[in-house]
Amino acid sequence: MRNLILSFAILSFLPLTAQALPIDWNGVFGVDTTLIDNFRRIKETTDRTSTNTGSQESPLAAGSKENASFQSYIFRLQPTMIINDAASLKGEISTNYGRGGRLGDDSTRTATARDASFGSTLYTHNTTNGDTIVINQLYAELYSDAATWLIGRQSFNWGLGAVYNDGSDRWDRFATARDGISGKIKIGNFQLTPYWAKIAQTNFTRASRIREFGASVLYDNVERDLAFGLLYGKKESNTQSTAISGDTNNDSTNTSLGETNVKITDLYLSKKFGDLSFAVEVPIMSGDIGNYFENGTVAKYKAKAILLESAYKISEKWKLQIFAGQVSGQGAGGTDFEAMYLHPNYQIANLMFRYDLRSISSGAQIYDSYVHNATYAKLGASYSTGKWDWDAALIWAKADQVAETGKVSYNHTTGKTFTAQSTQSDDLGTEIDLGFNYKWNQEVHVGGSAGYLMTGDYYAYTNDPAQKNNADNTFVLQLRTSIDF
């Protein structure tokens, strides 16, 4: 005891030499409320979704309500720790799925012993408990004279963000993530970025792994307002890989893709001529996507998209925008897989493609929605006063591919094949969008948006000549606020 007291006395007089490394905390927190009227997009009130795989009808929720109302939040915390002049540690922390969650989402409550014993007896004590903390990114950034190296779980962006998107915008709920290593090698106006990543591995042998590797080259000349580049990469899985599987043929049995060898070639160009600017991205998928159709045959992957974004600055306050694109779909009777799905952050409208409306009744993730199977054009205008930003747009779209009578067709909404009993319309509809954003101060933003979709007959398809639906218009309203820090 005497020695212990003496030890504490000596320690109390020793200088404290340990020093904590400073951490720079950045991030976003936002809350929104959304109302979607007539989310089924049809006039009929009878739910027939369970009778036909090819139907575009969204199922009714319990209570047979056709309107949806939900609130969500987005939260991402992005710490940066500077180790020394040659190294930094960076990360991103969020909660639940999609960098946030829903207000009232209690995914852990029913798993507790208390609720298992008492059930609804403790209704007044039920609380909103989310999932555990999620590590979206955690990587070391190492600096040298020749290159900057990123090692760990990191995000990545290319071009317009149509395929690879780092989720840097305020309300982006997803980000392309890689577990691996990448380099940034700068040579004049050129930047070379090689990368290698492991996507999944169900055991510790090579036979079960999915990996991705490739490189991008970008020329970026700020003085000439010109940028162009090429990304080429491969995504491979081996024969025993079971990490990715699906039920494409709707036989209630999930089948693994098995061995795959998918290649992506992504072209990008942007240029500015005074007040006129434009950017083009062309991602092309090729190679083998494995046993996608569950018929024991390796399917070829042949998908592409052509995307254009342009803007003309009329004055310091007014700007006109024109967006256009063609995103390939899966053709009826085809044996190759030809459907392209863009990144969920890359959206063209306030309602069309933005939400997975089938998830409203199931309570699944409503933001898992992707621009796909479409040829579209968007004419927009924006007005900015510094504090206020206003925008409006008109969007028209039609389907690239549709179901055809007597042929094995593809439901792009569900990812299922079916034999078509009738031919589907290609009219996706026309949408009118409005939106505003008020900058309360540098950190706080308050905004809102609205979208009115004059629904096309594509969404009225039932694949049943005896029971036809009629398309009906729908609209969305949203209010939101966010804090940047």
Instruction: Residue 458: give its domain's CATH number.
Output: 2.40.160.100
Rounded CA-CA distance 54/406 in Å is 13
Mapped onto helix, strand or coil, the DSSP state of residue 109 is helix
Rounded CA-CA distance 238/236 in Å is 7
CA 116 to chain centre: 35
Q: Which letter does DSSP use for residue 22 in this model?
A: P
Per the domain annotation, does 353 fall within a domain? yes
Residue type, 425: S
| Predicted pLDDT of residue 129 | 54
Residue 13 φ then ψ, to 5°: -100, -5
Give the chain's domain count: 1
Sign (positive or negative) of CA dihedral 210, 211, 212, 214: negative
Rounded CA-CA distance 35/478 in Å is 6
| Predicted pLDDT of residue 123 | 42
Per the domain annotation, does 384 fall within a domain? yes
Rounded CA-CA distance 59/410 in Å is 19
pTM of the model: 0.89
| Predicted pLDDT of residue 191 | 97
| Predicted pLDDT of residue 444 | 97
| Predicted pLDDT of residue 46 | 81
Per the domain annotation, does 155 fall within a domain? yes
Per the domain annotation, does 420 fall within a domain? yes
Per the domain annotation, does 14 fall within a domain? no
| Predicted pLDDT of residue 1 | 46
Per the domain annotation, does 3 fall within a domain? no
The tens place of each residue's pLDDT in the chain, 485 residues long, gives 444 344 434 434 444 444 567 889 999 999 999 999 999 999 988 887 766 788 898 888 776 778 899 999 999 999 999 999 999 999 999 988 888 888 776 544 444 444 444 444 444 445 555 556 889 999 999 999 889 999 999 999 999 999 999 999 999 999 999 899 999 999 999 999 999 999 888 888 887 888 999 999 999 999 999 999 999 999 998 888 777 888 888 877 888 888 889 999 999 999 999 999 999 999 999 999 988 888 788 899 999 999 999 999 999 999 999 999 999 999 998 889 999 999 999 999 999 999 999 888 887 789 989 999 999 999 999 999 989 999 999 999 999 999 999 999 999 998 899 999 999 999 999 999 999 999 999 999 999 999 999 999 999 999 988 888 999 999 999 999 999 99
Report residue 404 as tokens: 């055809």
**Number of helical (H) and strand (E) elements in the chain, helices listed first:** 3, 23
Per the domain annotation, does 119 fall within a domain? yes
Long-range CB contacts for residues 307-310, cutoff 8 Å, separation at least 24: 307/160, 307/162, 307/280, 307/281, 307/282, 308/278, 308/279, 308/280, 309/160, 309/278, 309/279, 309/280, 310/276, 310/277, 310/278, 310/279
Name which of 74, 108, 107 is nearest 93 in CA terms.
74
Quick one: residue 386, left, alpha or beta (phi over 0 = left, psi -120 to 50 = alpha)? left
Per the domain annotation, does 443 fall within a domain? yes
**Boundaries of domain holding 375:** 22-484
